[in-house]
A = this chain, B = another copy of it.
Amino acid sequence: MRTLAHPDRGELQLDTVLSAFSDPVRRRIVDQLADGPDDQACSAFQLPVSKSTSTHHFRVLREAGVIEQRYSGTSILNTLRAADLEARFPGLLKAVLQAARDETPSPTAERL
């Protein structure tokens, strides 16, 4: 079984996590994972970049510790490491998600 390296919760670096968050393509991935179910395959994300660029962004998120990726058949299932992020950097993920929503309100989230 192929495996993918993930940093432990205690190894998460603020610099790395912040720069992972500071790209629009990656924040789109994070937003979709936060709003939707866990275990979404990479192909479930309609990203405005090529397949190889997508792979790159998923890897950046994984290596920063923002998402967990595990193989399942020909797919990779992606899950937001919300609990680990909250444990290490309390409030950070929530603030970023909230800021992203305020900035580009989704059509299905008028009120709040």
**Using Cβ atoms and an 8 Å threshold, which residues of chain B touch A99?**
14, 88-90, 92
Instruction: Name the contact of A22 in the complex, choosing from B15, B24, B89, B100 (C-beta under 8 A).
Output: B15
Q: How many copies does the complex hold?
A: 2
Determine if B95 and A91 form an interchain contact, defined as CB atoms under 8 angstroms apart.
yes
Residue on B nearest A92 in the bound complex, by CB? B95
State which size class the interface on A falls in. 20 to 34
Instruction: Name the contact of A92 in the complex, choosing from B23, B24, B96 (C-beta under 8 A).
Output: B96
Determine if A24 and B18 form an interchain contact, defined as CB atoms under 8 angstroms apart.
no
Instruction: Name the contact of A19 in the complex, choosing from B13, B14, B22, B94 (C-beta under 8 A).
Output: B22
**A interface residue numbers (CB < 8 A to B):** 13-15, 18-19, 21-24, 27, 88-92, 94-96, 98-100, 102-103
A-B contact pairs, 10 of them (CB 8 A): A14-B27, A15-B22, A15-B23, A15-B24, A15-B27, A18-B18, A22-B22, A89-B102, A91-B91, A92-B95
